[in-house]
Amino acid sequence: MLQLALLHAQFEILHPFLDGNGRIGRMIIPLFLFEKKLLSRPCFYLSAFFEMRRNEYIARLRELGGSGSWTRWSAFFLEGVAFQAEATARKARAIHELYERLKRRVIELTHSQFAVPLLDFMFERPIFRSSDVVRLEHMPSAPMVANLLGRLRRAGILRVVREGAGRRPHVLALAELINLCEGRQVF
């Protein structure tokens, strides 16, 4: 992790982030962790921590080169990694709990053998067109899919992003998952 703290700081120092370079510098973090096989996917982002402590983040980077500054930077960076790792773990647990709760609810609402595959699809693509579900392998007929999706809409599990009209299908969203992932009310 110390190597990563130094790499990130060096990148930011070499090319200051006034032009949006900060995003690239933050993207290096999950890519580095993935390359070193510390992550199975490059999906760990310190941006939330850096934004939350933006002034300190910038101050720590600007002071690099002074006495003890690399130690302070490394401690700050490692604090961010620990903070974000815990936040990510909490979010992953919440997503898993949401899945388990919705699985029971969708099965109860639909009484269908397609309930779990449909839920799995919605967790993979939380915003989708109704026609996407019809095209899935092992899904029933279009009227049956419409019936299943209608039940989920009426129960408040799915929200309409865009109403269908004519040949244009509905666009639906698994709102609770999106809101959970975003950490704010989107739908």
pLDDT value of residue 186: 86
3-state SS string for 114-140: CHHHHHHHHHHCCEEEHHHHHCCCCCC
Q: Is pLDDT above 60 for 19?
A: no
What are the φ/ψ torsions at residue 140 (nearest 5 degrees)?
Answer: -75, -170
Confidence label for 161 from pLDDT (cuts 50, 70 and 90): very high
For the whole model, what pTM was predicted?
0.80
Dihedral (CA of 165, 168, 169, 173) sign: negative
Is residue 45 within 8 A of residue 52, CB to CB? The reply is no
- Residues 74 and 5: their CA atoms lie apart, in Å, by 6
Q: Is pLDDT above 80 for 117?
A: yes
- Residues 119 and 128: their CA atoms lie apart, in Å, by 12
Q: Calculate the CA 124 to chain-centre distance.
A: 11
CA atoms within 13 A on the CB side of 117: 13
CA angle 14, 41, 120 (to 5 degrees): 140
The candidate with the shortest Cα–Cα distance to 92, out of 22, 41, 50, 127, is: 41
pLDDT value of residue 14: 79
- Residues 160 and 163: their CA atoms lie apart, in Å, by 6
Looking at the DSSP bridge assignments, the partners of residue 171 are 129, 162
- Residues 124 and 108: their CA atoms lie apart, in Å, by 21
Give percent of the chain with pLDDT exceeding 90.
72
User: Tokens 């983040």 — which residue?
Assistant: 57
pLDDT value of residue 183: 87
pLDDT value of residue 16: 60
Quick count: other Cβ atoms within 10 Å of Cβ 87? Answer: 14
pLDDT value of residue 141: 92
- Residues 148 and 53: their CA atoms lie apart, in Å, by 45
